[in-house]
Amino acid sequence: MDTRPRTPHGTGDPVPVLTVRPLDGCHGVRAAGEIVLATHPVWERVLEQAVREGGGVYHLELSGVTFADVAGAGALAAAAERLGDGRWFVVRRPPPTLRRVLEMFWPDLPTIEVSMS
């Protein structure tokens, strides 16, 4: 008989975080954590900054991001559409959900390059 509790209980809900640091040696940031409702403001600030900053390629190193929701992918797509001429995002090692949602809703955005290396 399965005796595991069917209804989880207890305290200590994990608080979602998204930490952001400048990348060494290239233009962009390294983000870690998760892109969800609670961290959308942080994520949107990162993207806003990237749009404003200028320069050529902007790197988003996301190997430390474990999950991104649809609104997070949408914010990235909206920022990518606002990048000036000759600029684009290189999105490095995004979580599988971000790749899936980008492929589904924004498959041919020329200003987002997904890199798995």
Partner 1 sequence: MSAAAEPVGTAPDPFVHPALFYRDEREYLDGTVPFVREGLAAGEPVAVAVPGDRLRLIRDALGDDARTVRLLDMREAGRNPGRIIPGVLRAFADAQPAGRRVRIVGEPIWAGRSAAEYPACAQHEALINTAFRGRAVTILCPYDAGSLSEPVLADAHATHPVVIPAGSAPAHGSAAYAPDAVVARYNEPLPPVPDAMTFPFAAESLTRARHLATDEGRRLGLTGVTLEDLALAATELTTNSVVHGGGSGVLRVWGEGGHVLCEVRDRGRLTDPLAGRRPPARERPGGRGLLLVNLIADLVRTHTGDEGTTVRCWFAR
CB of 38 to partner 1, least distance (A): 7
Asked whether position 19 contacts partner 1 by CB under 8 A, the answer is no
Applying CB under 8 A, among 3, 7, 116, 117 the residue interacting with partner 1 is: 7
Asked whether position 37 contacts partner 1 by CB under 8 A, the answer is yes
Applying CB under 8 A, among 51, 67, 88, 90 the residue interacting with partner 1 is: 67
Neighbours of 38 (CB within 10 A): 13
Residues interacting with partner 1, by CB under 8 A?
6-8, 13-16, 34, 36-38, 67, 69-71, 74-75, 77-78, 96-97, 100-101, 104-105
